[in-house]
Structure 1
Amino acid sequence: MVGCARVVNQTPTLPIKGESYVVLPFENYTETPYAGYRVASILEGVLASKGYNLIPRVWSINERELAVEEIEKLKESAVKNGARYIVHGSVNEFRYKTGLDGEPAVSITIFVYDAKENKVVKNVTVSGSGWVHESLGTLTQKLLNRAF
């Protein structure tokens, strides 16, 4: 029987929960359509469930992946709407493995940017593969819960 592999690398702590956060769509480096939107949406739920103060979304799902320049414009909009911390990153893997088992496999890099201090205050990389009965969403949520 093969177990699930999960790896989390991160800086030690996240800034205080009382400050305002916004999660932006992640850059999608996978072949899975909308993986960046999917991960951002799951992360919003995880952070909200842990008591982080999220400002309303400054984005909506588009019919295509956002370009880096568009994400930069969203960062500016988020700051104007009161966000102190901007959470963004990239999705490096978001798929079901090929073969008989078809386990989910996810790899995400996350940056928490402090708009006031103009620097990244936390970075996280989470990767994992799950069991054949797990969905990509379930595995992603488990990984993000461990990271935050």
Structure 2
Amino acid sequence: MRLPRRLEAALLTTYAVLALNACAVMDHSDTAAAALDKNASWTVLPIANRTETPQAGLRASAIAQSLLTSNGIQLTRYPDTGDEETLFDTAKPDANAKALAWARSQNVRYALTGTVTEWRYKVGVDGEPAVGLTFDVVDVASGKVVWSAAGSRTGWSRDALSGVAQKLEKSLLGALTK
């Protein structure tokens, strides 16, 4: 027995939407982001790289800076010291404290920081790009996290890893720029 064409089309559309949604997982609070002052002084502090991919933290940081500035948030640029991330991010327990102290010295109100948890092409026939990120917005004066987000996204085999990362960051950070 064949299904009516309309029902068949509706089922195919539903399956396609479910399949596409399975490629991205995100968790963030839009209400907490709404309480943040978009006109305050912001900065993007180094993003930790917890992957095996060299300089993934620097790449994620560059995308975040671009997205925030293109959406009207004025950033105080964190100085490039050249040692934020070597080939692989080594454990630097005092790096966050130094970066936060720098932000305080610049009278920055909010600092975006985070962690790259995945940044690679998956092994296999198709080699899909996969990105995983967490972000925190820190109230610099108090040192408390006032907003956070986490997400992961995969792309198709023809997608660029940087494009998948940009889509994920745009989804995660979009709440901050509304």
Which TM-score applies when normalising by structure 1? 0.91
Partner SS state of residue 97, structure 2: helix
Shift of 1:106: 0.5
State whether structure 2 residue 44 is matched by structure 1 residue 23: yes
Shift of 1:61: 4.1
CA distance, structure 1, for counterparts of residue 50 and residue 25 of structure 2: 19
Q: How does 1:1-148 map to 2 (within 5 A)?
A: 3=20, 5-12=23-30, 13-14=32-33, 15-62=36-83, 64=86, 65=89, 67-148=92-173
Q: Select between 56-65 and 80-89 the one with higher mean Cα deviation.
A: 56-65
Partner SS state of residue 123, structure 1: strand
Task: Tell me which of the two structures has the higher relative contact order, counting C-alpha pairs closer than 8 angstroms and 6 or more residues apart.
Answer: 1
Aligned residues: 148
Question: What runs of 5+ residues in structure 1 fail to find an aligned partner?
Answer: none
Structure with greater Cα Rg: 2
Match of 1:106, as an amino acid?
V
Assess, with a 3 A threshold, how the Cα gap between structure 1 residues 61 and 137 changes in structure 2: closer, same or farther: farther
Shift of 1:118: 3.2
Match of 1:128, as an amino acid?
R
Shift of 1:60: 4.1
Deviations 1:68-107 (A, max 9, x none): 3123201211221121111111111000001111111000
Partner SS state of residue 42, structure 1: helix
Structure (1/2) with the larger helix percentage: 2
Q: Select between 131-140 and 101-110 the one with higher mean Cα deviation.
A: 131-140
Structure (1/2) with the larger strand percentage: 1
CA distance, structure 1, for counterparts of residue 23 and residue 93 of structure 2: 31
Asked if 2 retains the 8 angstrom alpha-carbon contact of 1:26 and 1:91, the reply is: yes
Assess, with a 3 A threshold, how the Cα gap between structure 1 residues 61 and 42 changes in structure 2: closer, same or farther: farther
Shift of 1:59: 3.1
* Identical-residue share of aligned pairs (%): 34
Q: In angstroms, what is the RMSD of aligned CA positions?
A: 1.8
Assess, with a 3 A threshold, how the Cα gap between structure 1 residues 104 and 123 changes in structure 2: closer, same or farther: same
Question: What runs of 5+ residues in structure 2 fail to find an aligned partner?
Answer: 1-15, 174-178
